Amino acid sequence: MKKLKQIIPIEKLKQIVPFCILLLFTVLFGLTSLMKERELQLIKQTASVTSERYACPMLCVITDHPGDCPVCGMTMAPVEGGTSADRNSIELNAEEILRSSIRTAPAVVAVPYAEVPMFGKIVPDETRTAVISAWADGRIDKLYANATGIEIKQGEKLADLYSPALISAQQELIQAVQHNDERMTAVVREKLRRYGIDDAQIEKIAQQTEPLEHLEITAPVAGTVLMKQVTDGDYVKRGQPLYRLADLSSVWIELQAYEIYLPLIKAGQMVMIEPDGRHGTVEFVDPAINPQTRTAGVRVSVPNPDGALRPEMLVRATVHVLGGQPAVLIPASAPLITGERALVYVKIGEGVFEGRDVVLGPHAGEQIAIENGIEAGDEVVINGAFRIDAAMQISGRASMMNPKPAEGESAEPMPTMHQH
């Protein structure tokens, strides 16, 4: 210091120091300004490629500045990926595609083929059933068909009925025959027919001198006794059901088909019944949908000569549908359906995926027909579409729940997300 003082006088040193300090501040200020300008240029260059956006982890808000979510208070996170400028498409890198398990398949043009699964149970054919009722007041003194499940032949005796009204009618017929009153005889014969007495019994009565104490109740048709509602000694009223018979050589199967398959099911189609592989024919498709199960009834008629198909058995059935005009088909897992619209993501370039609104046709097994929006050869996303749609949402692009996002969306709650 002494040497410095000897070289530079104190007076001149005092003049140089302020100048050096001023020069140092000037250099530092210039460097700082230069760095800020360079940083601003880098920010502008970056913004020209991709606009920085921030999203709430709960997807409450998407905005262009960091901070806390105004809805749930969580810290906003920067949005990564999605470098495409098109608001209907997004570009993902190879790592994002691998992490999201995204797979695609080509749309094809083919004649729709489907195996329509259905389930249901066996019931008697209503056109082959008969209810046997009492045609007159009386008492059942003897039952011959005394158990359900037994086979009955047509004309077979079912029960003996004691009825004062029938005894009186028999007496009228006997007297009319004895007096050769043809007019009265015809009237009384018709009266007995209305009591359910067949012509053979009426002829037997006409040849008697005393009325028969019991009249026979016979089976008008052959079949199996499904219901027995009387026992020996029961008093019955006119019109009271006694038996219910069914011919089980042919049965119905009441199936349930999901509503998405109903356009494929028509009357007259062949149906394969599991597990024995026999075939039936669709006779009727219910025009109404069950609101609880979202299914419609399908009635199938099936021959049953061996009696293997029994009422109330549960069965599965399949309708094989092949026909119609060729259509554009894609896997049924591809569309994202909101109820009002259907969206399919299509690969339009390496790592670039575009969302397209489509018009869906009928299901065809594991495929679905597309009436508009997809062409043959388009690579549609069949796995990972929800991941792509989520990336579209948080980057402010058109998505399944937000088809037309506004440019430069502000930090307002997304209408389709839950607001905390």
pLDDT at 80: 54
Model pLDDT, residue 250:
94
CA–CA separation, 74 vs 128, rounded Å? 70
Q: Which two tokens stand for residue 296?
A: 């419609």
Reported as a single tens digit per residue, the pLDDT across 55-103 is: 676 656 667 778 888 887 778 766 654 555 567 888 888 888 898 899 9
pLDDT > 70 in the chain, percent: 79
Is pLDDT above 60 for 287?
yes
Check residue 272 and give its pLDDT: 92
How high is the pLDDT of residue 414? 40
Residue 273, strand partner residues: 317
The answer, yes or no, to whether residue 258 has pLDDT greater than 80, is yes
The tokens for 195 are 């009591």
Task: Dump pLDDT digits (tens) for 373-395.
Answer: 999 999 999 999 998 988 888 77
What was the pLDDT predicted at 74?
78
Other beta carbons within 10 Å of 163: 21
**Confidence (pLDDT) at 63:** 72
**Structure tokens, 213:** 């104490």
Across residues 244-260, what is the average pLDDT? 92
Count of CB atoms situated within 10 Å of the CB of 403: 14
Question: Which residue has 């082959």 as its token pair?
Answer: 128
pLDDT tens per residue across span 183-240: 998 999 898 888 888 888 888 888 888 888 888 888 888 999 999 999 999 999 988 9
- pLDDT tier, 283 (very low <50, low <70, confident <90, very high otherwise): very high
Confidence grade of residue 412 (pLDDT, cut at 50, 70, 90) = very low
What is the rounded average pLDDT of the residues 114-137? 90
Per-residue pLDDT, 69: 81
For residues 153 and 264, which has the higher predicted lDDT (pLDDT)?
A: 153
Q: Does the structure show a pLDDT above 50 at 408?
A: no
Q: What one-letter code names the amino acid at 287?
A: P
50 has pLDDT over 60: no
Q: What is the mean pLDDT of residues 237-253?
A: 93
Model confidence at 139, in pLDDT bands (50, 70, 90)?
very high
Measure the CA–CA gap between 154 and 201, rounded to whole angstroms: 15
**In the predicted model, is pLDDT for residue 353 greater than 90?**
yes
Whether 303 shows a pLDDT value over 90: the answer reads yes
Mean pLDDT of the chain: 82
Q: What is the pTM of this model?
A: 0.57
pLDDT at 265 over 80: yes
Identity at 386, one-letter amino acid code: F
CB 197 within 8 A of CB 215: yes
Say what the pLDDT of residue 419 is: 38
Q: Are 405 and 389 in contact (CB under 8 A)?
A: no
More confident call, 18 vs 72: 72
Given pLDDT bands bounded at 50, 70 and 90, which one contains residue 30? low
pLDDT for 401 equals 79
Q: How far is CA 359 from the centre of its chain?
A: 18
- Specify the higher pLDDT residue, 133 or 362: 133
Please tell me which residue, 246 or 24, carries the higher pLDDT value.
246
- What pLDDT does residue 391 have? 86
**How much is the pLDDT for 100?**
87
Q: H/E/C letters for each residue in the chain?
A: CHHHHHHCCHHHHHHHHHHHHHHHHHHHHHHHHHHHHHHHHHHHHHHHHCCCCEECCCCCCEECCCCECCCCCCECEECCCCCCCCCCEEECCHHHHHHCCCEEEECEEECCEEEEEEEEEEEECHHHEEEEECCCCEEEEEECCCCCCCEECCCCEEEEEECHHHHHHHHHHHHHHHCCCHHHHHHHHHHHHHCCCCHHHHHHHHCCCCCCCCEEEECCCCEEEEEECCCCCCEECCCCEEEEEECCCEEEEEEEEEHHHHHHCCCCCEEEEECCCCEEEEEEECCCCECCCCEEEEEEEEECCCCCCCCCCEEEEEEEEECCCCEEEEECCCCEECCCCEEEEEEEECCEEEEEEEEEEEEECCEEEEEECCCCCCEEEEECHHHHHHHHHHCCCCCCCCCCCCCCCCCCCCCCCCCC
pLDDT (0 to 100) of residue 382: 94
How many other CB atoms sit within 10 Å of the CB of residue 187? 13
Strand 279-285, strand 336-337: pairing: unpaired
Q: Which two tokens stand for residue 274?
A: 């599991």
Distances in whole angstroms, Cα of residue 352 to Cα of each of 78, 251, 376:
21, 57, 19
Question: How confident is the model at residue 111, as a pLDDT?
Answer: 84
Tell me how far apart the alpha carbons of residues 381 and 371 are, in angstroms, rounded to a whole number: 18
* 413 has a pLDDT exceeding 50: no
- What number is the average pLDDT over the span 293-304? 94
Cβ atoms of residues 311 and 353 within 8 Å = no
Burial 21-35 (b: 16+ CB within 10 A, else e): eeeeeeeeeeeeeee
Least confident of 280-294, 340-354, 404-418: 404-418
